[in-house]
Structure 1
Amino acid sequence: MHCLIEGAPPEGAAPAWLEALLAQATELPPCQPDPLDPHTPAERWLGHLHGLPDEAALPLAAWSLRERSRPWCFVSPVHLQLEAAQVLALPQQTLALSEADSRALFALMAPLFPAAEGWELQWLSPLQWALAHEQLDGLRLASLRKAEGRPLTPWLPEDRRLRRWTNEVQMLWHEQPLNRARLEAGLPAVNSIWWWGAGRFAGEPPEALQQHEGWPAALELPAGSVLALAGERQVRSFEIGARRWWQRLLGGRAPDAATLLASL
């Protein structure tokens, strides 16, 4: 089993369960992607787990949907904010987007991608939708998680078709009553979309994978499991139960949990 935990480390003392697991674990080589990698360290670690090389564009949508028949891509509603000479994508959670509003925006966008032309659309959640089409194969796109809260210039898609479709969605949603109501309620307008995780299913999925977005209050893992801790800089992983008594004796102390969390 592999267990991936990503998100901001907990403030204050490290969780007691982490201390207990580290005491019986052996550290594996870290995953430290290039800062210009369009994927987050957690996503790149998943790519390694699927057997893909560092330079591969990761088909995150196809993996998530377990779709092997055609290329898929995530399309996520976002708010783009102009600040001085740069544009930022606000973190999605700041949208506070209800299911009803999300479905309404999705319905407005849908005619741009007609089924008669080979498109397939799926509404997955208020903040995540998906599209399928052969034109989405081979695209190298920056993950939304990599782009959120940062200047967008390095991460904008190069493909002209995606830029054109994005512009069309922006025009459709501009001045929508739904967005005016959001502004009156003090919420940011949903004024654009972000394309990410495109491609055809590739690599071999791991037999057992447990993912946590955020740190659990408690965690138990059987011996032989791999625990991976992901931050903005790197992923550090540990094989649980691999630290024998003689390794503890010769190899010194287990990794300090607080120092470990600060390194992520």
Structure 2
Amino acid sequence: MHLMIPHASAVGEAAAHTLAELNLPNLAQLLPLLTPVGAPLGSDEYSFNTPFELALAELRGCPATDGCLPTAAWALQASGSSAAAWALLSPLHLSVGAEQITALPPQALALTERESQAFFNSLAELWPAAEGYTSQWLGTHQWLIAHPSFAGLRSASLERVLHRNVDIWMPEARRLRTLQNEVQMLLHGHPLNEAREAAGALALNSVWISGCGANDSHSQPLPADLQIEAVLQEPLLAGDWQAWSQAWLRLDAGPVAALLAQAKQGEGAPRLTLCGERHAQTWALGPRPRLLKLWQALLPPRADVARSLLAL
């Protein structure tokens, strides 16, 4: 089993304080049994793609080029859809404050499928089929459009901007800035938004464009034994450190404990990838001499979990 845990750590005093008090006994036993595989992926918390996305790209056998991962095309891979280059449009509400513009998560809109499809269809004039566009409504929070002009355009992941000032991650490519502005203009005063605001709901006033590009011909499906545990995402992005701690405790008692059992038995090629805001690191079980296995069984080593996670 390859266990991958995104949002395993974060930058800042609140995260450091939370991790210092967090007791994860199974992870503390697991890490010393495993060996780091390669160098950590990623750079810093201001990169365009998260370390989690970079780790998935590596598993797919794709170049992990920051800001140029075709995550929109990957979202369609299971359905067999293909086109020159896809872009993911995530409907959201941009909250304009005195000093910054903050991106609220798509879930904050509480869109129904019917509302989402209605908004998507009403914007179709921006991507006409006669001009070479293809569009697909993939889900309430996932709108996809394809056009050759999206190939190679650098864009920031949606997760980078949620609950944050969007300024440093705004699209650099003129093509994407223009499209975002056109969407915002059509949404302003939109009858569907007027009905939402009258009902006390947030207006859908923008989209975040990300994941541009075509699926690499050498791209591989994700490994069958990959198990992604994403329960840390929501509380971390919301800054709910108590809920994040509780989610970590459940992970430690469940999937991490199961991987620890595999590692102790030396079966199943156990691998662990932990992804923070800056880096993602993978560990795997390497060969262990019999004497070392006996010693580790009698005196199980324990890792400094907080230190390991804060390095991510």
Q: Does the C-alpha gap of structure 1 residues 247 and 53 become closer, same or farther in structure 2, counting only changes over 3 Å?
A: farther
Residue 31 of structure 1 aligns to a residue whose secondary structure is strand
Give aligned-pair identity as a percent: 39
| Structure 2 portions without partners, runs of 5+ | 10-14, 233-249, 263-267
Contact 1:25 1:243 in 2 (8 A): no
**Cα distance in structure 1, aligned partners of 2:76 and 2:304:** 37
Q: Does the C-alpha gap of structure 1 residues 259 and 71 become closer, same or farther in structure 2, counting only changes over 3 Å?
A: same
1:101 to 115, 118, 130: 115
Q: Give the TM-score taking structure 1 as reference length.
A: 0.84
Q: Does the C-alpha gap of structure 1 residues 54 and 107 become closer, same or farther in structure 2, counting only changes over 3 Å?
A: closer
Residue 79 of structure 1 aligns to a residue whose secondary structure is strand
- Are 2:57 and 1:40 aligned? no
Give the aligned residue type for 2:303.
P
Return the structure number with greater helix share: 2
CA deviation after TM superposition for structure 1 residue 157, in Å: 1.1
2:34 to 7, 18, 25: 25
Give runs of aligned pairs for residues 165-204 of structure 1, distance below 5 A.
165-202=179-216, 203-204=218-219
Matching residue of 1:160: 174
Q: Does the C-alpha gap of structure 1 residues 176 and 56 become closer, same or farther in structure 2, counting only changes over 3 Å?
A: closer
**Cα distance in structure 2, aligned partners of 1:84 and 1:4:** 39
2:145 to 105, 127, 131: 131
Q: Does the C-alpha gap of structure 1 residues 34 and 260 become closer, same or farther in structure 2, counting only changes over 3 Å?
A: closer
CA deviation after TM superposition for structure 1 residue 137, in Å: 0.5
Q: Deviations over 1:237-260 (max 9, x none)?
A: 22147666627859x824234444
Q: Give the TM-score taking structure 2 as reference length.
A: 0.72
Q: Deviations over 1:161-216 (max 9, x none)?
A: 32222222212221223323333444321100111001111253243333332257
**Cα distance in structure 2, aligned partners of 1:185 and 1:248:** 66
Matching residue of 1:63: 74
1:207 to 217, 223, 227: 223
**Cα distance in structure 1, aligned partners of 2:151 and 2:294:** 48
Mean Cα displacement is larger for which, 17-26 or 28-37? 17-26
CA deviation after TM superposition for structure 1 residue 105, in Å: 0.8
Residue 166 of structure 1 aligns to a residue whose secondary structure is helix
CA RMSD of aligned residues (A): 3.1
Contact 1:139 1:199 in 2 (8 A): yes
**Cα distance in structure 2, aligned partners of 1:159 and 1:32:** 22
Matching residue of 1:235: 280
CA deviation after TM superposition for structure 1 residue 102, in Å: 1.0
| Structure 1 portions without partners, runs of 5+ | none
Matching residue of 1:6: 6
